């Protein structure tokens, strides 16, 4: 009984210590789905999809502009998706667009801006791991980013990029 009480007291001291408490908060990520990035008002009343002029082979329809969910700003999140590499080399990618489906930014038009996340990952993700879906973990910001591959309504500083595994 004394050993159990000592262990419980030690656990209480560790979790009440601000250093340990902050460490446990840092790993508490909110797991998101792509629909979570679309405000409810926009889900209920989506903006019109841009029309394609099929008579002009050079006409490129504009990317739909999507609003952000302001409440997600500064939130530690975990989001699955596919990588569109932007910066890095043949071994590691340090910046990319995260999109909900493979080839999203190759298709015209690109997905709505609130369905693209600009990711900075200074540590670098190995290129070999990026052809399949990935989980990206980090802090989400409602800060837009623009690139020729597509505009993003959100930005994220990643702490990890790992191969996608279906949640249990």
Whether residue 117 has pLDDT greater than 70:
yes
Do 67 and 78 belong to one domain? yes
On whether residue 69 sits in a domain, the answer given is yes
Residues 41 and 66 occupy one common structural domain: yes
**Does 135 reside within a domain?**
yes
Assess whether 11 and 69 both reside in one domain.
Answer: no
Same domain, 22 and 79: no
Query: 124 pLDDT exceeds 70?
Result: yes
- Domain of residue 14 covers 1-29
Backbone angles phi, psi at 83, to 5 degrees: -100, 135
Q: Looking at the structure, do residues 130 and 69 belong to the same domain, yes or no?
A: yes
- In this structure, the answer to whether residues 91 and 112 fall within a common structural domain is yes
Domain with residue 64: its CATH number is 2.40.50.870
Predicted pLDDT at 87: 92
Q: Share the mean pLDDT of the chain.
A: 81
* CA dist 10 → 7, 21, 25, 88 (Å): 5, 14, 19, 45
**What residues does 96 pair with on adjacent strands?**
85, 119
Asked if 4 and 38 sit in the same domain, the reply is no
Q: Give the model confidence (pLDDT) of 42-96 as tens digits.
A: 999 887 776 766 777 776 777 888 999 999 999 999 999 999 999 988 889 999 9
Q: Does one domain contain both 6 and 39?
A: no
Burial of 159 from C-beta contacts in 10 A (0-12 / 13-18 / 19+): middle
pLDDT at 108: 66
CB 134 within 8 A of CB 117: no
Least Cα distance to 100 among 15, 31, 34 occurs for 34
* Same domain, residue pair 20 and 41: no
Which residue in 157, 115, 114, 150 sits closest to 136, CA to CA? 157
Instruction: Assign 37 a pLDDT band (cuts: 50, 70, 90).
Output: very high
pLDDT of residue 7: 38
C-alpha torsion 45→49→51→52, nearest 10:
-170
Q: Do 41 and 77 fall into the same domain? A: yes
Q: How far apart are CA 164 and CA 134, in angstroms?
A: 4
> Residue 20 above 70 pLDDT?
no
| DSSP H or E segment with residue 150 | strand 150-152
Domain count, the chain: 2
Confidence band, pLDDT 50/70/90 cuts, at residue 11: very low
Amino acid 15: pLDDT? 40
CA distance 1 to 7: 10
* Greater pLDDT, 93 or 150: 93
Whether residues 43 and 113 share a domain: the answer is yes
39 and 6 housed in the same domain: no
Q: Is the peptide bond before 109 cis (omega within 30 degrees of 0)?
A: yes
pTM: 0.76
Is 19 within a domain? yes
The yes-or-no verdict on residue 109 having pLDDT over 80 is no
Within a domain: 55: no
């Amino acid at each position: 009984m004394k050993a159990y009480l000592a262990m419980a007291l030690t656990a209480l001291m560790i979790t009440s210590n601000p250093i340990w408490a902050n460490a446990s908060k840092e790993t508490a990520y909110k797991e998101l789905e792509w629909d979570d990035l679309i405000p409810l008002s926009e889900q209920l009343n989506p903006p019109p999809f841009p029309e394609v002029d099929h008579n002009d082979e050079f006409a490129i329809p504009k990317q739909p502009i999507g609003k952000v969910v302001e409440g997600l700003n500064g939130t530690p999140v975990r989001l699955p998706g596919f990588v569109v590499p932007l910066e890095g080399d043949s071994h590691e990618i340090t910046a990319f667009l995260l999109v909900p489906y493979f080839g999203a930014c190759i298709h015209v038009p690109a997905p709505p801006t609130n369905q693209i996340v600009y990711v900075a990952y200074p540590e670098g993700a190995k290129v070999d791991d990026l052809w399949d879906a990935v989980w990206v973990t980090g802090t989400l910001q409602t800060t837009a980013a623009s690139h020729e591959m597509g505009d993003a309504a959100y930005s994220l500083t990643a702490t990890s990029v790992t191969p996608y595994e279906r949640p249990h």
